[in-house]
Amino acid sequence: EVQLVESGGGLVQPGGSLRLSCAASGFSFSSYEVNWVRQAPGKGLEWVSYISGSGTTIYYADYVKGRFTISRDNAKNSLYLQMNSLRAEDTAVYYCARDGRGYYDSSGYYHKGGHDYWGQGTLVTVSS
């Protein structure tokens, strides 16, 4: 059974740091791309960051670029999000989410798979 379990959330002051973890099990972790997605209280889903299976390709949303760092340890089947210079607007439930398999169409364009498995989320509250 595929499982993703986040941890590391909590209350932190503005300007502070926090490191989130996501423990994966039930699948070949290194073969899959994974993401962090967040949801502020009462708001919609917001993508945060992506990392390829090998960890060599990384993307960030503009609103976290330069403050957050995504990483993974395939030997430990774990995904991480180091969050620095936290702001009140970073308050949210943070989910890790696995990308399903993509495919190339007849014109050679690559279609990425959707997030087929999600963790239960961990709450980050940034407040003084």
Partner 1 sequence: SYVLTQPPSVSVAPGQTARITCGGNNIGSKSVHWYQQKPGQAPVLVVYDDSDRPSGIPERFSGSNSGNTATLTISRVEAGDEADYYCQVWDSSSDHLHWVFGGGTKLTVL
Residues of this chain that bind partner 1 (CB under 8 A): 35, 37, 44-47, 50, 59-62, 95, 97, 100, 103, 110-116, 118-121
Q: CA nearest 96: which of 27, 7, 17?
A: 7
Shortest Cβ 7–partner 1 spacing (Å): 15
Q: Which is nearer to partner 1, 16 or 42 (CB)?
A: 42
Q: Which is nearer to partner 1, 32 or 95 (CB)?
A: 95
Whether 75 and 110 have beta carbons less than 8 Å apart is answered as: no
Amino acid type, 63:
Y
Q: Which is nearer to partner 1, 20 or 37 (CB)?
A: 37
CA distance linking residue 57 with residue 35, whole number of Å: 12
Shortest Cβ 29–partner 1 spacing (Å): 19
Whether 97 and 3 have beta carbons less than 8 Å apart is answered as: no
